[in-house]
Amino acid sequence: AIFLLIAAPSLSKVSLAFRSPDYFGLMILGLTAVSAFSAKGHFLKAMMMVVLGLMLASVGQDTLSDIPRFTFDNFVVGKPNELAHAAARRVAEGGIVSFNPLFLYGGVGLGKTHLMHAIAWELQNRRPDLNVLYLSAEQFMYRFVQALRERKMMDFKQLFRSVDVLMVDDVQFIAGKGSTQEEFFHTFNALVDQNKQIIISGDRAPGEIKDLEDRIKSRLQSGLVVDLHPTDYELRLGIL
């Protein structure tokens, strides 16, 4: 029960379309933990685990259904990221662009996820009619495996191939996972054939992601690939 209490919130961070953490379920799991530990005289330990679970649940709430924290308005622009910012702004207008997909890459803390969230929020405000789906590559894999297990692949394909904009964060996570890469490849092609916009982020350029299939690398490189450089002194000063 404790493992589920801690792990469950991480499964809820998906997209504009999916739900936030199930607090009722977390409460039940927490009470189960309290009962189990209390029976052994470890009530304090049980309460600490419940508090930890609720803290993690609040982290799991950090989806696009919350009050926006990552927008273009609070993104500090400088030379290291101005091209990525301009490209993200262009895609966020919601019209037809000359590049698809947009691939953003860079190290930790350089603003990839910030720009991804900003694009999603801007699209939601400008074009509420669009079906925008934002999720991590890990969540894509989780949904795929779940669909296979429950024999609901048609529902899975319908969900991902009926969107207007697909946004996948940390694509490097699917590297080396053959079946997931296969489905991602076909999903990618289906959306491009429909002229739907795709926005991807990764920790390095597509060609440098180890164990990522060559055909996927080729697709990811077919649009605009933009890197976010480490901040210089002026940009750091602007952030402060």
Cis peptide before 9 (omega within 30 of 0): no
User: pTM for this structure?
Assistant: 0.69
Helices (H), 70-224: 82-92, 112-126, 137-149, 153-161, 178-193, 214-220
Mean pLDDT calculated for residue range 88-113: 88
Q: What is the pLDDT of residue 13?
A: 35
Condensed to tens digits (0 to 9), the pLDDT of residues 6-26 reads 233 333 333 444 333 344 444
CA atoms within 13 A on the CB side of 79: 4
Quote the pLDDT of residue 24: 42
What's the pLDDT at 142? 96
Confidence class of residue 81 from pLDDT cuts 50, 70 and 90? confident
Is 94 a residue whose pLDDT tops 70? yes
Report the C-alpha gap between 116 and 137 in whole angstroms: 13
172/197 Cα distance (integer angstroms): 19
Using one digit for the tens of pLDDT, what is the confidence trace for 121-152? 999 999 999 999 999 999 999 999 999 999 99
Nearest alpha-carbon partner for 171 in 231, 101, 118: 101
pLDDT, position 98: 84
